[in-house]
Amino acid sequence: SFKQKGKDIPDIKTVRDCRSYYIDPQSQVLNSTIMTIRRAAVRLMAPESIALKTAVGLKRSRCQPACQAITRSLRHSSTTAAAQSPWANFTQAPPDPIIGLTEAYQNDDFPQKVNVGVGAYRDDSGMPFVLPVVRQVEKEITAEELDHEYSGIAGCPSFVDLAMKFAYGEDCVPLLEGRIAGVQTLSGTGGLRVFGEVLNSFGHTEIHIPNPSWGNHVPIFRNAGLDVKTYSYYNKENSSLDFEGMIADIKNIPEGKCILLHVCAHNPTGMDPQIDQWKEISSVVKEKKLLPFFDCAYQGFASGDARIDAASLRLFVEDGHKVALVQSFSKNMGLYGQRVGALSVVADSQEEAQRVLSQLKVHIRPSYSNPPRHGARIVQKILSDEQKTDAFVEQCSSMAGRINSMRATLKQTLEDLGSSRDWSHITKQIGMFAYSGLTKEEVTVLREKHHIYCTLDGRISMAGVTSKNVKYIAEAIHDVSK
């Protein structure tokens, strides 16, 4: 139409422009074109100037010349379109240190690659391990043909009761008196977040955690609105517990603040206080009127007996502390993907416990409403049966025993290779991890040269060390550290 009039094809940017330049504004082709563009604009929630790109698909119509003009004028609109996206200002977040490590490992095609970064148990073949008692209970649950109805906000009551007995002990006085409020949570992580929010809601502005601590503690509590501060815990110079520094720092924590403590098998160092040291910690915490919050993720991986690994927690309760506790059954029962945990608070009375429970539920409801049932049913069946509980303790002890065996072998192999470093801390540490003492630079070389993947702080998951790869790991560590 424009060519017939001897005019240049205009720079058409909007539907209104398009309408004004057509010879016959009433033509069916024109109306069809405009309606198509308008529908696209609505569908894309975009301005008409962007939606006009749909005109590219209309070249076969009798409006071909105008459509070509539209196409030309919008050839450079991709940048404008992107700017209109509600996600355009989103930056790429850095990968999670552990997940990113696993992805790098999976993309590595080196035949002898080793992943000792993930905190999940592996058998001596390097494969995921399901406890036989868990397999047995799963078959029983399947045979019962149970429903999949919602749990309550606080989860399965019988599971919560058994979890608390497992941690506090069946003879725990506050438990017998009904003074402990408990809820089922999304493993330990969910319990940490819920309690962090509860603390923030009732006037707590900060929490004090050991340095170092589990990497996720900091973002969990910060996202719950708390300022995260640290107290001394580990002496990197001699790879040992910095007990004197720990006590000194705890004494400097302001009265009434919350302090996070690892029940056993401290992550990432594997260094736990001795029972006499725990008594002194309890005394200082009481003197400073601090709120002790225990994280129990490895009950069973310290002594090898899950029923006695809660000695620190039980000591604090016996000393009269009104503690809070978060538990995870991911490691000791191998229920990583089931997200089974519990959160409990020791109160002064039954009535106070009920009020605390109501506040825990208030924070759970808008977060995840209620927890999943399958994993809780597995734990419930195991802990409610004496024979199954004994089998679980034995199987958990077997996992801990294999890890301890690999500790001894790794240490001995490093010594046999003639390493000038002192590796005695490997066997002094307990639990799933060995805090190797390797520097960030040494860890990087370990990964790039030997294809061994561990976190940059030198934490090695001993669960990933096997009789088949321990020599290769020792040789690689010796190479980067000599």
Instruction: Give the angle subtended at the CA of 325 by the CAs of 323 and 328, to the nearest 5°.
Output: 170
Beta partners for residue 210, in sequence order? 231
- Find the DSSP H helices in 290-439: 311-318, 350-368, 374-383, 386-416, 425-428
Q: Which pair of tokens denotes residue 35?
A: 């309606």
Please choose, from the candidates 175, 230, 224, the residue with its C-alpha nearest in 3D space to the C-alpha of residue 202: 224
- Residues with catalytic annotation? 214, 295, 331
Phi, psi of 346 (to 5 degrees): -85, 120
What whole-number distance in Å separates Cα of residue 364 and Cα of residue 215? 23
- Contacts of 46-54 spanning 24+ positions with Cβ under 8 A: 46/81, 46/84, 47/84, 48/14, 48/15, 49/13, 49/14, 49/74, 49/77, 49/80, 50/74, 50/77, 50/80, 50/81, 50/84, 52/12, 52/13, 52/14, 52/15, 52/18, 53/77, 53/81
Measure Cα distances from 442 to 209, 452, 461 in Å. 27, 11, 17
The answer to whether the beta carbons of residues 127 and 352 sit under 8 Å apart is no
